[in-house]
Chain A
């Protein structure tokens, strides 16, 4: 049986057929091979999109009034006189070496720009996932232990609402209520402008994640300010991932609670919290890791719209800004980065899944 590499949203990860030798190593190797093929395919798609785009990359560099000789020189410098397959080979080699081309807008290397923008997105998505797990897992367990109850219905409805909510709209409403009317949170951006200067000039930036950097510098007033800015967008993304995580937790837990070892534990008089949180949870954790990794990947994507709302200087803002200035290389560079992270997270969760669950090793 062919094992699908990507676990689908609605189903638990399938188990694999047994193999001989060093099964885990072999599976990781075949996984890496799949990863390589997928990444090349990803690059092929962005490459083709980049070729059919109706903007002439040469013209955007040399300008409208360049002579034919200048034009031809620039064309050769970009490698556009080569046959298409060689262009693609160059493209892949460059990408593997971390060269995603040059931004038309800023004339700077795209990889470097993305490296500056990415930590902000990562910080947002990470905090969102943490919130999603902390709320979603207990909610799913609660629903699973009382199926059909009012609590179960509420968890289900709140989850479905999370699936149905346009995230950019919820962000606007959040800003309107919590920032505009109540004044409980900071507004758009990562910091108030005054603190922005402090961060820039008087602090060591260790990671690019403001919460961690300010804490390491001991600048707690800046930390508090950053927290007040991040909490709304992170809570928003947390809600989206909570919707997915609680739903999956519920179905995994329901499945586990029907097993015989649970009945045995209950008959032996084990306290219910221990049955659920220790015995059943250990088995629920295994498929749940895949779910959490997937929802983390979705948050990285979901941050595109969220970031535009909150003026969050992350990858999403970078891509949309590039889009509006017709800076296609930058758009595609951002697409590649998100795609690579997406694929890698999937792959990592797959391997982790095998490491944790001896049954999946075959």
Chain B
């Protein structure tokens, strides 16, 4: 352990890989000192664990109905968060709902940032009319209120998780394009790019191999901060009945099904909302901490 630490903190790293790992280790040490960010990390890890081992955490099958066990209050033996109007265990549904949330978040994170990254780097690298056109397009999409555009898109595509993901991804890419373009402008005229170009590399190779990696850190921070928003929009679409469809245990959908008896059986709507709140708080706390640690502008404090 000590040798590993010494290797990581060695001020004269032998090559690129230890140097990079050393940087990551130092960032991790800084992150570990901020309790808020660590609690965010804990929440996100818990989400991952719950999604991965859902059957182990859940006490019941999330979709099996038992009408004799309808609307039991929290604290009932065997159903510690209570049951919903079909007698399904709310805790088990929340646990399995973590999978759906993670699925949505992962799909959006795999589609929107690469799209934004591509548009932003191409715009920034070529400049001129390409930049003008692409950035105008970005501005137009940025001008749309996200939730409403997602609503209109889902209305066209039809309700469902996958369509909700497409709608969210189509509304989520513009900020990434902005960030990537700004980063590209700072590296575009640097010597190392000129050197690669003189070696005969084409635009595609330069953008993919030498510009995009430079944009990654700021894009990753942005992704973490954005995930909370993605979760909230997905839950909102689910709540309106435009996202996941019954009987899937999606959290927003669960809230909307509990709305009918809010005043008598409050727990049906309340519990999944708490889950949404904690998970998006987790992503926000983590993203906030990561930005403080990784962003060179705030690290100088």
- In the complex, the answer to whether A164 meets B228 with C-beta atoms within 8 Å is yes
Question: How many whole Å from A362's CB to the nearest CB in chain B?
Answer: 20
The total of chain B residues at the interface (CB under 8 A) is 49
Scan B134-156; emit 1 where CB is below 8 A from any A CB, else 0: 01110111111111110111011
A175 CA to B269 CA in the complex, in Å?
12
Q: Does B118 contact A (CB under 8 A)?
A: no
What's the nearest-Cβ distance from chain A to residue B35, in Å?
A: 10
Q: Which of A4-12, A16-24, A80-88, A273-281 lies on the face that meets chain B?
A: A4-12
Q: Measured between C-beta atoms, what is the minimum distance from A31 to chain B in Å?
A: 12
CB-CB < 8 A to B266: which residues of A?
A: 176
Q: Please tell me if the beta carbons of A304 and B151 are within 8 angstroms of each other in the complex.
A: yes
Which residues on the A side are within 8 Å of B135 (C-beta)? 2, 4
Question: B13-45 interface mask toward A, CB cutoff 8 Å, 1 = contact, 0 = none?
Answer: 000000000000000000000001000000000
Asked, given contacts A49-B152, A163-B284, A331-B152, whether A339 binds B178 with beta carbons under 8 Å apart, the answer is no
Determine whether B273 belongs to the interface, using a CB cutoff of 8 Å to chain A. Answer: yes
Binary flags per residue of B227-240, CB closer than 8 Å to A gives 1, else 0: 01000100110011
Q: Does the CB pair A342–B144 fall under 8 Å?
A: yes
The answer, among B146, B273, B283, for a CB contact under 8 Å with A173, is B273
- Count, chain A residues at interface, CB 8 A: 56
Q: Is B245 an interface residue (CB 8 A)?
A: no
* Chain A min CB distance to B40 (Å): 9
CA separation between A335 and B156, bound complex, in Å?
13
A340: nearest chain-B partner, CB-CB: B143
Residues of B within 8 A of A332 (CB): 152
Residues of A close to B140: CB separation below 8 A: 37-38, 41-42, 45
Q: Closest A residue to B236 by CB, please name it.
A: A305
**B241 → chain A, closest Cβ, in Å?**
8
Is A288 close to B, CB under 8 A?
no
- A169/B36 in contact, CB under 8 A: no
Q: Beta-carbon contacts of A159-196 to B below 8 Å, as 1s and 0s? A: 01101111111101101100010000000000000000
Contact of B145 (CB < 8 Å), options: A2, A157, A338: A338
CB contact list, A78-98 vs B, under 8 A:
none
Q: Are B151's CB and A323's CB within 8 A? A: yes
Note all chain B residues with C-beta closer than 8 A to A8.
Answer: 175, 178
Centre residue among A37, A54, A163 by max chain B CB count within 10 A: A163
Contact A53 B143 (CB under 8 A): no
In angstroms, Cα B242 to Cα A326, docked, is 12
Query: Can you name 20 A-B pairs with beta carbons within 8 Å?
Result: A8-B178, A37-B136, A41-B140, A45-B141, A49-B152, A52-B156, A157-B36, A160-B285, A160-B288, A166-B252, A166-B277, A176-B266, A298-B145, A304-B147, A304-B148, A305-B240, A320-B151, A331-B151, A331-B155, A335-B151
Q: Which residue numbers of B lie inside 8 Å of A, CB to CB?
A: 36, 131, 135-137, 139-149, 151-153, 155-156, 158, 175, 178, 228, 232, 235-236, 239-242, 252, 255, 259, 262-263, 266, 269-270, 273, 276-277, 280-281, 283-285, 288
